[in-house]
């Protein structure tokens, strides 16, 4: 698995990451969601550089054909509810003709620090031969991402797989490297070293879903 870590080359990604981490800024839900959308837009643009393009003639108002390069592979954008929605929206602004898939994965707690990841809902187009971009802002253990990917495989085998996450733990990166296809590509804003006993990334940013949409019971 090839890993693209935006933190290795400081950019506006670094600025938006600082804002979504900052306890004095992240409390503004509108700004938090917008920053996730901005990050999705930047990630989408960077991923687009690795895709296949076809040269096609385009008629202009001057009656002359211009040879233009257009995206040459079908894209499916997939996300995990609920934290992934604003991040996904940023991707969709750039891949505006993409098909979309949605997965509901949640932690079912047995005890305070012991839980299983459960898949409750899946809506997806057929995936055979398509480029699947699976996005979720946080990669703590990698378990939700793997289970979501396995669930999506019931809809076909994608030709390419890109995973995108704003913040990942080193543990999650190592785990996904061991379970995903060798030619998969992982795009991350930054890789943090630790996760705590509750499987939250440290330093991380907290609960992205709660910060975007409010606390849940």
Residue 210, CA atoms < 13 Å, CB-side half-sphere: 7
pLDDT of res. 98: 98
- Average pLDDT of the chain is 94
**In the structure, what pLDDT confidence band is assigned to residue 214 with cuts at 50, 70 and 90?**
very high
Mean pLDDT of 113-124: 76
pLDDT at 197: 86
In tens, the pLDDT along 84-100 reads 999 999 999 999 999 99
Q: Which residue segments constitute the domains of the chain, with CATH numbers given? A: 2-51+71-213 (3.40.50.2020)
Rounded to an integer, the average pLDDT of 56-60 is: 97
Supply the pLDDT for residue 111. 58
- What gap in Å lies between CA 150 and CA 161, rounded to an integer? 12
- Return the structure tokens found at 199: 């499987």
User: Which DSSP state fits 142?
Assistant: S
Lowest mean pLDDT of 19-23, 76-80, 117-121, 131-135, name the range. 117-121
pLDDT at 212: 95
Residue 208, φ and ψ in degrees, nearest 5: -65, -40
Q: pLDDT band at residue 70, thresholds of 50, 70 and 90?
A: very high
pTM of the complete model: 0.93
DSSP 150: H
Quote the pLDDT of residue 216.
Answer: 78
Using DSSP, state whether 134 is helix, strand or coil: strand
CA-to-CA separations, 161 to 38, 164, 201, 217, in angstroms, rounded = 22, 10, 24, 34
pLDDT in the model for residue 116: 64
pLDDT of residue 105: 74
- Whether residue 83 contacts residue 107, with contact meaning beta carbons closer than 8 Å, is answered with no
**Residue 16 pLDDT level (bands cut at 50, 70, 90):** very high
Residue 115 has pLDDT above 80, yes or no: no
Alpha helices, DSSP H only, in the chain?
12-21, 29-48, 84-94, 143-152, 170-179, 208-213
Rounded average pLDDT over 48-76: 97
Q: Which two tokens stand for residue 202?
A: 């440290």
Distances (CA, A) of 141 to 117, 172, 176, 191: 11, 4, 9, 12
Tokens (6 digits) for 173: 């990166």
Contacts of 104 (CB under 8 A, 6+ apart): 80, 81, 119, 120, 121, 122
Place of tokens 């393009």: 53
175 or 82, higher pLDDT: 175
Q: Alpha carbon of 169 to those of 70, 93, 98, 165: distances in Å? A: 35, 27, 29, 10
Mean pLDDT of 126-153: 95
User: Above 60 in pLDDT, residue 109?
Assistant: no
To the nearest whole percent, how much of the chain has pLDDT over 90? 86
**What is the reported pLDDT for 198?**
82
**Is the pLDDT assigned to residue 110 strictly greater than 60?**
no
């Amino acid at each position: 698995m090839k890993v693209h870590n935006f933190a290795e080359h400081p950019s506006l990604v670094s600025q938006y990451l600082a804002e979504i981490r900052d306890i004095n800024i992240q409390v503004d839900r509108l700004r938090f969601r917008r920053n996730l959308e901005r990050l999705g837009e930047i990630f989408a643009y960077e991923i687009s550089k690795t895709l296949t393009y076809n040269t096609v003639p385009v008629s202009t108002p001057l009656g002359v054909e211009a040879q233009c390069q257009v995206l040459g592979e079908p894209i499916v954008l997939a996300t995990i509810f609920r934290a992934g929605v604003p991040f996904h929206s940023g991707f969709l602004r750039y891949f505006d003709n993409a098909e979309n898939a949605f997965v509901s994965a949640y932690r079912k707690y047995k005890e305070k620090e012991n839980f299983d990841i459960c898949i409750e809902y899946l809506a997806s187009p057929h995936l055979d031969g398509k480029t699947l971009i699976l996005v979720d802002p946080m990669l703590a253990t990698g378990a939700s991402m793997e289970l979501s990917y396995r669930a999506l495989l019931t809809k076909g085998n994608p030709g390419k797989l890109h995973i995108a996450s704003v913040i990942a733990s080193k543990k999650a990166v190592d785990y996904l490297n061991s379970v995903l296809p060798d030619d998969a590509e992982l795009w991350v804003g930054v890789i943090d070293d630790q996760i705590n006993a509750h499987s939250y990334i440290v330093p991380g940013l907290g609960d992205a879903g709660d910060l975007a949409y409010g606390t849940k019971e």
